[in-house]
Structure 1
Amino acid sequence: MSHASFSPVSDVLLAPSLQRGPGAEPLQRQLLQRLRAAILTGRLPAGCRLPGSRPLAEALGVSRNSVIAVYEQLSAEGYLEPSRQGTRVAELRGGGVVSVMPQQASPPAPRMQTRPLAGRVERVRSHYGAQDGAHAFRPGVPALARFPMPAWKRSVDRAYQRGGVATLGYGDPAGEPALRRALAMHLAVARGVRCTADQVMITEGAQEALALCVRLVANPGDIAWVEDPGYRGAQTAFECADLTVVPVPVDASGLAVPQGAWDAQPPRLVYTSPSHQYPTGAVLSAARRLALMEQAQAHGAWIIEDDYDSEFRHAGELIGAMQGLQADAPVLYVGTFSKTLFPSLRLGFVVLPAALAQQAQTLLQETLRGGHRFEQLALADFMESGQFSRHLGRMRRLYRRRQQALREALARHLDIPHQVLGGDSGMHLTVQLPPDCPDHLLAQAARAYDMAPAPLSRFALMQRADCNGLVLGYGNTSESQYPALVQRLSALALQLQGRALRRA
């Protein structure tokens, strides 16, 4: 049959020829994609009558069944309208079906309009940039090569054996009971937390734990105090909940609430990391802990205690959790296994006050679904078998050595004035730098040498002279690399200072 018998649609349907041979997509799929694209771009406008299945199949060299199947699929999707008079292109943009094909050129494909996003998206995007692939000195990454994979695999295997098919379904929204029991026991012994398993809620990392805290006790527009400088994830969680974020300064004794702040800007939420403030490493003093809880009780506020890196203290005994200082404290205690085990596990937790845990049952049932069940059961086995505690002991010793080695490398090779903060816990050191060495430029330059230190200024909400420096993560960086890495950082810093001097 001549192609002219169904012109002028022949140019759209027949050219170019369908691809054949090894590696080519099925002919039916090619035809489906061609027709759909032609309709969406206007090359086959509304009302255009398509040829019958038999002549089109002959012209294309495909089976008639393939053409029929394509027409039926596009009709089901709403692109075509079959009738007794033949198959026509449907009207996709409202209005009646055009009865004849217009003679003018096909309209251009519509361009995506720029539409404003929610204000919280821009607020978060303006604060933080995307991470690249650099890894040395990246904060928050544990020593992944030292994780006991054989022991973990045994726990995973036991979890699959014991869990069985039933574990494939939804679990308890608050988490697997076995993990909640094991975690409650560990927190009571190691951190002095007062809780039962019923108060422990398992989440997908600390970030979801923070979001859950916000959903439970705050409303849009409420005031939330955050440490400044402080953990960006808390700032993000509060901004995404449309809370009014108020920065509170941090000094050598932790969160330093200004005089009169409780009356001037009474918060609904106060975020603090008292055992190891991130990123300065300060420890919230006992007097400030008690005063914070007293004021929170008096003003009807809630405290989110982020127990960041508290398991890795390098001098003396572990510092107990603020939550355990008094019964029924207005504290929501948040933690994660991303640092103690490995980040991709994506398991965190929040310990709620007993009364709040009871009241929150309905919300938990509606917003949580109890996933990662096998991972939770494996973690429960890992803790109950003693492997978790042994792993923590090994990591404490390792990070203590790495911290000391990094201190020595900084003292010997960083040839600009600096001050080292946060050396008693965790997996990072914070190095304050002089103002003529902008931290964001130094961090950017370091990425060319496979280093990913975080600029201290990125953690600050308010402009502060003492928030210029680098946060150096040593958890996943071998101590043998420290001298060369610090020498490189020193050279880059001196270059920045030289440029600043020449501009002056």
Structure 2
Amino acid sequence: MPAREHQLSIEIDRNEAVPIYLQISERFKAAIAAGHLRPGDRVPALRGLAMQLNTARGTVEMAYNILVDEGYLQMRGAAGTYVSPSLPPSVTLAAARKKRERALSAPRDSQSSRNAVPDNDATLLRPGLPALDAFPRKVWSRLVAYRARSGDIASLTYPDPAGYRPLRERIATYLGLSRGVDCEPEQVFVTNGYRAALELVLRSLAKPDDSAWYEEPGYLLARNFLVEAGLRLVPVPIDQEGLDVAQGETLEPNARFAFVTPAHQSPLGVTLSLPRRIMLLDWATRAGSWIVEDDYDSEFRYAGRPLPALKSLDRDDRVIYCGTFSKVMFPGLRLSYIVAPGRAIARFEQITKGMNAGPPHLLQAAVADFIAQGHFARHLKRMRTLYSERRTLLAQALMHVLRDTIRVDLPPGGMHLVMLFNAPVDDFAVAARAREAGLAVLALSAWYLGGRTKRSLRGLVLGFANVADSAAATRLARLLQNALKG
């Protein structure tokens, strides 16, 4: 029986502070919860809805990507986009009504109602989230308070758009010592998070309709931004040696960019081999292209020292190095940085002046002090030990509870692991049910730019940095077991 084509009327409010793409996704969720959209219904095409709403196609695409990632929609290529047929009962109208009735009849202070959802469900198994319980908050508070009390006039003016000079110096020194990146402070630009770093790169070097290699599967959030920015992304497969450079050259030999995560591929965790690194650099030199190296969590490696960055091998100045404090300190900082090519410093300086006034001086100064006083190095050392223990706890709990239904390969580094299913499983549906239980997990197949195919791996991407102990690991594994069973 053919799917029902649903003519959905969506209204957006351009005066709202909420971005339009989020308004669209919320309208879809509300329509599904109310029963106006049912599992299996076909939803409007991207172009058609964009015309209906008089908005950009990329805006609608971002909303659809969110709904796909959360398990509400399924994209089926040329066949269209559909409401997921495996939606959990909790999003249906009947279940929602029963939930409200239970909430009204239950005592407000009931212990059982408080325990129905795990505490702090925004952090449970969230990939990329550092151990918030282990960050030295007292030290950090002292450093911030000292800077706030200092009365420095410079802290009250507009910050340098390129970043606080002492922090840029500290970053350049740190990269030279720990990552093998030889750079000057003038090449370091501090930004408001990784998205702002990508925006700076694109505004400085990209041209209309540029193409770019993108890892398949690859980092979800960056992918969405790059698509919205107008880049034509070319999915290049990942294997046991990382990015398949030969395939990239076959698919798009003259791509303007290659976006890569060489130290710890996101999400599969493999390391780009030395031969592939050399091939990638040689291609960039021949094609006159740029390599954007996202070195997002390379500090955390559990076998030997952290590997040198791809940038350390760059002899033709084709690599743009990106790092972040979100993973090594905490994401609330919203501080990232890039190392610009020497030949493009003037261009990057020009663009930073037009983008914004730079990140807050207070936080940059506190981070510079955190590094200068040795707290940063000590924190990294402690976290390597802690994360090594926590990844083992979670992996062991998953294998003990879920047994033959899954496969877990311990990653050599990073802050997340991938749990693969041994049988055909709808990982979108499993992830949706897991989120209902308070787990911030992501479906692995959502990370594929080319869409879900028979070759797409099925599994879940799980963060282990906040798994406190073996009891917590076992409890989380059992919640995942329930989500898998449906």
Shorter chain as denominator, the TM-score bin is: 0.7 to 0.9
Query: Which residue of 477, 481, 486 maps to 1:490?
Result: 481
- Alignment of 1:177 with 2:165, yes or no, is yes
1:181-260 to 2 correspondences below 5 Å = 181-259=169-247
Tell me the residue number matched to 1:93. Answer: none
The farther-off stretch of 285-294 and 150-159 is: 150-159
Tell me the residue number matched to 1:468. Answer: 458
Unmatched tracts of structure 1, length 5 or more: 1-112, 497-504
Q: Which amino acid aligns with 1:205?
A: G
After TM superposition, give the deviation of residue 327 of structure 1 in Å. 3.2
- With CA pairs under 8 Å and 6+ residues apart, which has the higher RCO, 1 or 2? 2
After TM superposition, give the deviation of residue 435 of structure 1 in Å. 4.7
- Alignment of 1:343 with 2:334, yes or no, is no
Please list the CA deviations of residues 271-316 of structure 1 after superposition, one character each: whole Å capped at 9, or x if unmatched.
Answer: 0000000110010001101110111110011000000210111111
After TM superposition, give the deviation of residue 257 of structure 1 in Å. 2.7
| Contact 1:331/1:353 (8 A) holds in 2 | yes
Kindly report structure 1 stretches of 4+ aligned residues shifted beyond 6 Å: none
Tell me the residue number matched to 1:82. Answer: none
CA distance in 1, matches of 2:477, 2:121: 19
After TM superposition, give the deviation of residue 133 of structure 1 in Å. 4.9
After TM superposition, give the deviation of residue 140 of structure 1 in Å. 1.3
After TM superposition, give the deviation of residue 114 of structure 1 in Å. 5.5
CA distance in 1, matches of 2:308, 2:425: 37
After TM superposition, give the deviation of residue 491 of structure 1 in Å. 3.6
After TM superposition, give the deviation of residue 128 of structure 1 in Å. 2.3
Tell me the residue number matched to 2:66. Answer: 128
CA distance in 2, matches of 1:389, 1:118: 45
1:99-118 to 2 correspondences below 5 Å = 115-118=53-56
CA distance in 1, matches of 2:183, 2:315: 10
Tell me the residue number matched to 1:447. Answer: 435
Please list the CA deviations of residues 391-423 of structure 1 after superposition, one character each: whole Å capped at 9, or x if unmatched.
Answer: 111111110000111121122111343222451
CA distance in 2, matches of 1:274, 1:425: 12
Unmatched tracts of structure 2, length 5 or more: 1-50, 71-119
After TM superposition, give the deviation of residue 244 of structure 1 in Å. 0.7
Tell me the residue number matched to 2:3. Answer: none
Provide the aligned length of Structure 1 versus Structure 2: 383
Distance 1:471 1:382, change over 3 A: same
SS of 1:360's equivalent in the other structure is helix
CA distance in 1, matches of 2:287, 2:52: 44
Tell me the residue number matched to 1:323. Answer: 311
| Contact 1:276/1:283 (8 A) holds in 2 | yes
Q: Which amino acid aligns with 1:471?
A: V
Larger radius of gyration: 1
CA distance in 2, matches of 1:489, 1:423: 20
| Contact 1:253/1:282 (8 A) holds in 2 | yes
- TM-score for both structures, normalised by structure 1: 0.73
Tell me the residue number matched to 1:295. Answer: 283
CA distance in 2, matches of 1:145, 1:310: 21
CA distance in 1, matches of 2:334, 2:287: 34
- Alignment of 1:400 with 2:388, yes or no, is yes
After TM superposition, give the deviation of residue 134 of structure 1 in Å. 4.1
After TM superposition, give the deviation of residue 248 of structure 1 in Å. 0.8
CA distance in 2, matches of 1:437, 1:124: 25
CA distance in 2, matches of 1:359, 1:333: 16
- Alignment of 1:119 with 2:38, yes or no, is no
- Alignment of 1:477 with 2:467, yes or no, is yes
Please list the CA deviations of residues 41-73 of structure 1 after superposition, one character each: whole Å capped at 9, or x if unmatched.
Answer: xxxxxxxxxxxxxxxxxxxxxxxxxxxxxxxxx
- Alignment of 1:333 with 2:271, yes or no, is no
| Contact 2:236/2:247 (8 A) holds in 1 | no
- Alignment of 1:271 with 2:259, yes or no, is yes
CA distance in 1, matches of 2:474, 2:349: 53
After TM superposition, give the deviation of residue 334 of structure 1 in Å. 0.5
Percent identity of paired positions between Structure 1 and Structure 2: 38
Distance 1:256 1:317, change over 3 A: same
Please list the CA deviations of residues 175-228 of structure 1 after superposition, one character each: whole Å capped at 9, or x if unmatched.
Answer: 000100011111111111111110000000111111111111111210011111
Tell me the residue number matched to 2:350. Answer: 362
Tell me the residue number matched to 2:100. Answer: none
CA distance in 1, matches of 2:377, 2:305: 15
After TM superposition, give the deviation of residue 260 of structure 1 in Å. 6.9
SS of 1:128's equivalent in the other structure is helix
Query: Which residue of 142, 146, 159 maps to 1:158?
Result: 146
Q: Which amino acid aligns with 1:487?
A: R
Please list the CA deviations of residues 125-157 of structure 1 after superposition, one character each: whole Å capped at 9, or x if unmatched.
Answer: 222248795431111111111111111122212
| Contact 1:310/1:319 (8 A) holds in 2 | yes
CA distance in 2, matches of 1:124, 1:441: 20
SS of 1:192's equivalent in the other structure is coil
Distance 1:459 1:470, change over 3 A: same
| Contact 1:234/1:271 (8 A) holds in 2 | no
Q: Which amino acid aligns with 1:472?
A: L
Distance 1:264 1:246, change over 3 A: closer
| Contact 2:399/2:406 (8 A) holds in 1 | no
1:384-399 to 2 correspondences below 5 Å = 384-399=372-387
Distance 1:206 1:253, change over 3 A: same
The farther-off stretch of 414-423 and 214-223 is: 414-423
Q: Which amino acid aligns with 1:470?
A: L
Tell me the residue number matched to 2:7. Answer: none
